[in-house]
Amino acid sequence: MRVTVNQLLKKKKKGEKITMLTSYDSLFTKLIDKNEIDMILVGDSLGMVVQGNENTLGVTIDEIIYHTKIVVRNSSYPFIVADMPFMSYQTNSYDAVKNAGRIIKESGANAVKIEGGVEFSETIKALVRASIPVVGHIGLLPQSINQLGKFKVQGKTEKKHNKIIEDAKKLESAGAFMIVLEAIPYELAKEITQTVSIPTIGIGAGNATDGQVLVIYDLLGGDSSFNPKFLKKYLNLEKLVSDAISEYKKDVENSSFPAMENTFFKTKSKEEIISLYS
Ligand code: KIV
């Protein structure tokens, strides 16, 4: 049985932490599923970590649907959230409902996530009216990169701190059932978490939130040049994969792969095989 909205809300009430990871493909989705992570986010971070773009802005609704379908098909436990890509909800509530409806219907996701605060409360109300569960996302908003200039911690000044608190309250009253808090100081994340009754999920927001999310490739150490303060790498995937590829290259070049045991023969005679392969 998949995790439900009610179970996630109950976790906050009971003080139990919520686990969330991004995923975009079958391999990692199966491993996340096996480890009973509560939620998978099919994030528009796929524009950066899968497609290799410098930001998330180019991701399309079709691409989110494509990756979310894969994640839904290859998991049975986690609650699945699909990101709404840039310009799929910013225009107006009608577009937001139409596009979110398409994502839910075609991909099988359980909810959508949108970036932004107070400005999107009418949009969130319209989505919830259409029976679409919504995760809000405040603090650092990667879809606003052209206004921000660079990815940096938000809410350090009194004015910005108060605006983000206001955003969190508005998201809750509009009907969002959860809020992602990205790249904000610990004190602010703690205050929001104590203020709203819906769960908060942090990324770069400290451990006072109700749960955590990380991009799966970041957690696995897929890129040695990406080392933000908030990230803990649980593996050196870049080195492991690179070493394996390099070993494969050597093996092919010196003919040690495929070895005898990786090869099909017509003959069943061991002696003949040994003499053929030497
Ligand atoms: O797109 C994404 O993966 C996200 C997370 C970083 C929260 O929005």
Per domain, the residue ranges of the chain are 5-235, 240-277
Residue type, 15: G
- Residue 244 — very low, low, confident or very high, per pLDDT cuts 50/70/90? very high
Contact (CB, 8 A) for 192 and 168: yes
Ligand 1 centroid to Cα of residue 181, in Å, is: 10
- Residue 1 — very low, low, confident or very high, per pLDDT cuts 50/70/90? very high
Ligand 1 centroid to Cα of residue 13, in Å, is: 24
State yes or no: pLDDT of 278 exceeds 90.
Answer: no
Q: Which CATH superfamily is domain 5-235 in?
A: Phosphoenolpyruvate-binding domains (3.20.20.60)
Active site residue 272: no
- Residue 227 — very low, low, confident or very high, per pLDDT cuts 50/70/90? very high
Cβ-count burial 27-65 (b if 16+ within 10 Å, e if not): ebbeebbeeebbbbbbbbbbbbbbeeeebbbebebebbb
**What predicted TM-score, i.e. pTM, was given to this entire model?**
0.97
Ligand 1 centroid to Cα of residue 178, in Å, is: 14
Ligand 1 centroid to Cα of residue 237, in Å, is: 20
Pocket of ligand 1 (CB under 6 A): 22, 41, 43-45, 83, 180, 182, 203, 213, 215
How does DSSP assign 188-211, residue by residue?
HHHHHHHH-SS-EEEESS-TTSSE
3-state helix, strand, coil in the chain (%, to 5): 45, 15, 40
What confidence tens digit (pLDDT) does each residue in 147-204 have? 999 999 999 999 999 999 999 999 999 999 999 999 999 999 999 999 999 999 999 9
* Nearest residue (CA) to ligand 1, atom 3: 43
- Residue 220 — very low, low, confident or very high, per pLDDT cuts 50/70/90? very high
Q: Which residue has the tokens 């686990």?
A: 19
State yes or no: pLDDT of 142 exceeds 80.
Answer: yes
**What are the C-alpha distances in Å from 85 to residues 46, 103, 144, 205?**
11, 11, 12, 23
Helix (H) or strand (E) holding 114, with range, is strand 111-115
DSSP 17: P
What confidence tens digit (pLDDT) does each residue in 247-276 have? 999 999 999 999 999 999 999 999 999 999
What confidence tens digit (pLDDT) does each residue in 40-82 have? 999 999 999 999 999 999 999 999 999 999 999 999 999 999 9
* Nearest residue (CA) to ligand 1, atom 8: 43
Q: Which one of the listed residues 158, 182, 253, 261 is annotated catalytic?
A: 182
